[in-house]
Amino acid sequence: MSARRDAVASAFQFLSRFPVKNDPGFSRDLLRRSVVYYPLVGAAIGGSVAAGAAAAILLLPPMPAAVITLILWVALTGGLHLDGWMDSADGLLSYRPRERMLEIMKDSRVGAMGVLACVLLLLMKASLLSAWLDGGQYYELPLLLLPPIWSRWFMVRAMVRLPTARGDEGLAANFAGLGLMHERRALALAALLSLAAAAAPLALGAGLAAWPQHLAAAVLLPVAALACGTWAARRASSRIGGLTGDIYGALNELLETVLLLALVLLQHNLM
């Protein structure tokens, strides 16, 4: 029980800025065991974002409410994944040789491509949140848990399925050699959390007629995460010979955005 609690605490410490009373310290073994609980961190972030969005939309029009919601979203992660997104954009979009791309990604300074990629990503997220809040019902807000759940599950899959670009160096090296057990446990947890998120609208007053649409979201978003994430991860891996910690963060940001887009498409066509 103590080992599981430490792994959960480690996952929250690493991926979020939630206050964690239990400080398990840092070790490579603990960091590796914690990946199973990445979807749980995603659910906590998604739940907080949904609560923030519910409060914001009561007081403001959709666009400013969406911006405030996005600020909360970024704050809950400390900008960790955005940093990876910007570094990855600087490196991969430089079209330099492999070693030079890795050097650029390791540089703490942000270049023009990183800034541009960050601005466009945040604009896209804000516009999607605005569309979601403008066209949805309050009882649909729990579905906002799905993008952060499945984007973080895919990070675990990428750690398991693809090699690291820097060998024994860098953050990604801590996750080298993870087994299928880690991915499967993370998948089971993500699926359970997704079903709970899809069922939550019923408890909030949605009619039974809305259940098929919510179930469709719980089924289609994981498929979208798998398809888009696999394409992006393999593309990045082919460019630099594997993945890095920055790429993991970039994959998370990309998939959160793609899954938000999927939610908006489902909302306007099915819900």
Q: Which tens digit of pLDDT belongs to each residue from 234-249?
A: 999 999 999 999 999 9
Answer whether residue 209 shows pLDDT above 60: no
Please provide the average confidence, as pLDDT, over all residues in the chain: 89
Other beta carbons within 10 Å of 13: 21
pLDDT band (50, 70, 90) for residue 213: confident
Hey, which residues does 164 pair with through a beta bridge?
243
pLDDT, residue 16, reads 94
Question: In whole angstroms, what is the distance from residue 98 CA to residue 105 CA?
Answer: 11
Is 70 exceeded by the pLDDT of residue 205? no
Q: What percent of the chain has pLDDT over 70?
A: 94
**Predicted confidence (pLDDT) per residue in 158-193, tens digit:** 999 999 988 777 788 888 888 899 999 999 999 999
Residue 147: which of 242, 246, 215, 47 has the closest Cα?
A: 47
